[in-house]
Structure 1
Amino acid sequence: MVTIARWALDGAVHTGFVHEDRCLALPQGTTPQDLFDAGLEATLDLAARTVAEAPGDAPSLGEVRLLTPLDPRTVRDFVTFEEHVEGVTASIDGAGGVVEEWYEAPTFYFTNPHTVRATGETIPVPAGCSRMDLETEVAAVLGTAEGITGTDLDPGQAHRMIFGYTVLNDWSARDVQAREMKVRLGPCKGKDFASTLGPWIVTADEFADRHDAEGFLDLAMTAYVNDEPLGTDSLAHMGWPFAELVAYASQDSLVVPGDVLGSGTSGRGCLAELWGRNGALQPPPLRTGDRVRLVVEGIGEIENTVGSRRRADLPAARARRRGRARAVGPVATAAASP
């Protein structure tokens, strides 16, 4: 299996391949983006040469500190698991259910590519949050595909742009997010403080024989809080396969190598869904010191510790009530005095 990773060792950052527990570095200055731009086939050829020429003293995984496997160009996060939508809706209004519009087309939001964290990092709780949550996801990473421009793609073209897959934790400040969503825009500060990607990128060819007839991948996804299992689901329960998500994102727009597209939270892959089903904050929101581990079959696992809250209140000034323009028709022009 070929996995692409970044790691820190002896004060230097390396990009390379992890093979049989050894970290095989590419020439200094190489970045993951270089590989996405080169495309999957060229990267696989490079990986084969790198493994064949690997030095005997290449460091093991235990000797390095894994970093984020890429600096994303953009991060689009979808909401594709019906069970998750049903449960989270119940946590908001107590009724649950899935609106008909959800079935019509995949929905996503853009989150912050500059606050991506690595496995092993501490994730601070953002200001104003008392309901910290996790989200268990898989993300597709895009790369170059010959003859593909990245705009108005069909699913077949989109599938060819999928370079590989990684694990994603889309951390959520649920109380901050709930306030934002009442404005009917967002989420923003309830989400953009941190996302974890890692531990590496598994190239798409490793899953070539695992797609079903409609393009779904049956990979088990499990979340743990302090080593207690929270829930397990299958990636095959997405409402749309990844190729259709990429194709939809490209419509009247552009997707490029280095873009990341998240699956959305799996069923029973977060606390808010369970709050909706249980009718109470049980299990409790994440607390300082909690360890969150996400495991995805065929890809790997990421683990982070929850840090302290930056401040209890939301650091934002209230809007000034500045008056409103109330014209109901064309502005009348006063007649000149005779």
Structure 2
Amino acid sequence: MRIGRWLDPAGRVGEGFVIDDRVVPFPDGATVAEVLESGLAAAHALRARAVSGGSALAAVRLLAPLWPASIRDFVAFEEHVEGVTASIDGAGGVVPEWYEAPTFYFTNPHTVLGPDEPVAPPVCDRLDFELELAVVLGGAPDADGRNLTREESADRIFGYTIMNDWSARDLQAREMKVRLGPAKGKDFGTSLGPWIVTADELAPRLDADGFLALRAEVFVNDVPIGEDLVSNMGWPFPELIAYASRNSRVVAGDVLGSGTVGNGGCLAELWGRNGGLTPPPLREGDEVRMTIDGIGTLTGTVGAAVAAPPVAPARSRSRARH
């Protein structure tokens, strides 16, 4: 099944199933958030009740397929880490700590963009994309989402979507020197779409170790930039979910990104490998098109940069205690 959200010609938001070349609203006026909370089995029952008809897919504008409860973005591809590290220090390599546990950061669920929706980046010199597969969590009545096992985590996977983690690399580099972040180098925009493909659709693509054998590709202005297999992740998705739930909680509607695929899944990796800004950073008007087997295509364009109010530097204070 494919589940999505859309805007019809009258400006009304629809939520439901994408069936072949049509969009069909959920029965009873259900929302994507409610369907995710109910879980995958309930979604299949709802699909059996979905009436035929709806609207032509070509007549509506697809929106982000959900408003995430939260977004965790992992860094699960060793090759990506090698290349991006080289863009920072010229040497590359992967620190031993990367292998010990999957690392992630939280980004902003309030700046999510849909298919073909332009990103409005901050003023920066090194705008980049990141090609990722994201997992969308659903509800499960047998656990509250805390300290999940790998098996419990697998049962929480409702489906998958493509994720573009837009990145201002020069802003990110400054933040990371303070040993915290990324923050403003990332939180201005995350594209999701074109829809959610339910987990059962991709189950035949799981290998013996639980990795998804899907091909991922990215193009800038129709020029191929990178391609990789999602199965080159260091950890399968259930282990990422289990780690996210450690001494914490995951809920329906959470989105967990795989992190950037290797072999050109972002420009920064190639800058590290090429020893310079080749290919060049993104500029206004550039189109970034991402395709993942079994999911579809997510396209985004770069809009005009937005100059935010200036930031005052830290004040020098006396450090008096009394």
TM-score category of the 2 structures, normalised to the smaller one: over 0.9
Are the equivalent residues in 1 in contact too, given 2:26–2:46 (CA < 8 A)? no
Partner residue, 2:32? 32
Give the length in aligned residue pairs: 320
1:157-177 alpha-carbon deviations (Å, 9 max, x no partner)? 000000000000000000000
Q: 1:151 aligns with which of 136, 146, 155?
A: 146
Are the equivalent residues in 2 in contact too, given 1:166–1:199 (CA < 8 A)? yes
Task: State the percentage of identical aligned residues.
Answer: 59
Partner residue, 1:54? 52
Partner residue, 1:260? 255
Partner residue, 2:281? 285
Matches within 5 A, 1:162-201: 162-201=157-196
Flag the structure with larger Rg. 1
Partner residue, 2:87? 91
Partner residue, 2:72? 76
Give the whole-Å Cα distance in 2 for the aligned partners of 1:265 and 1:153: 25
Partner residue, 2:294? 298
Query: Over aligned residue pairs, what C-alpha RMSD do you find?
Result: 1.4
Q: 1:136 aligns with which of 98, 108, 131?
A: 131
- Which AA in structure 2 matches 1:5? G
1:49-102 alpha-carbon deviations (Å, 9 max, x no partner)? 21xx313xx211110000110000000000000000000000001010000000
Give the whole-Å Cα distance in 2 for the aligned partners of 1:237 and 1:76: 19
Give the whole-Å Cα distance in 1 for the aligned partners of 2:318 and 2:47: 63
Are the equivalent residues in 2 in contact too, given 1:141–1:258 (CA < 8 A)? yes
Residue 239 (str. 1) matches residue 238 (str. 2): no
Partner residue, 2:5? 6
Partner residue, 2:17? 17
Offset of residue 325 of structure 1: 5.1
Are the equivalent residues in 2 in contact too, given 1:14–1:28 (CA < 8 A)? no
Give the whole-Å Cα distance in 2 for the aligned partners of 1:105 and 1:300: 30
Give the whole-Å Cα distance in 1 for the aligned partners of 2:193 and 2:314: 39
Offset of residue 25 of structure 1: 1.0
Offset of residue 29 of structure 1: 4.7
Give the whole-Å Cα distance in 2 for the aligned partners of 1:43 and 1:74: 21
Q: Secondary structure at the match of 1:229?
A: strand
- Which AA in structure 2 matches 1:244? E
Residue 41 (str. 1) matches residue 37 (str. 2): no
Residue 215 (str. 1) matches residue 210 (str. 2): yes
Are the equivalent residues in 2 in contact too, given 1:211–1:218 (CA < 8 A)? yes
1:215-269 alpha-carbon deviations (Å, 9 max, x no partner)? 1001001010000110100000000000000000000000000000000000010
Partner residue, 2:120? 124
**Residue 242 and residue 325 in structure 1: after superposition, are their counterparts in 2 closer, same or farther (change >3 A)?**
farther
Partner residue, 2:97? 101
Q: Secondary structure at the match of 2:110?
A: helix
Offset of residue 323 of structure 1: 2.4
In the alignment, structure 1 segments of 5+ residues that lack a partner are: 332-338
In the alignment, structure 2 segments of 5+ residues that lack a partner are: none
Give the whole-Å Cα distance in 1 for the aligned partners of 2:114 and 2:300: 8
Offset of residue 125 of structure 1: 2.0
Are the equivalent residues in 2 in contact too, given 1:289–1:306 (CA < 8 A)? yes
Offset of residue 107 of structure 1: 0.2
Moved more, 103-112 or 206-215: 206-215
Moved more, 138-147 or 108-117: 138-147
Give the whole-Å Cα distance in 1 for the aligned partners of 2:230 and 2:141: 28
Offset of residue 27 of structure 1: 4.7
Moved more, 67-76 or 140-149: 140-149
- Which AA in structure 2 matches 1:91? S
Residue 202 (str. 1) matches residue 201 (str. 2): no
Give the whole-Å Cα distance in 1 for the aligned partners of 2:252 and 2:288: 29
Partner residue, 1:335? none
Give the whole-Å Cα distance in 1 for the aligned partners of 2:134 and 2:127: 21
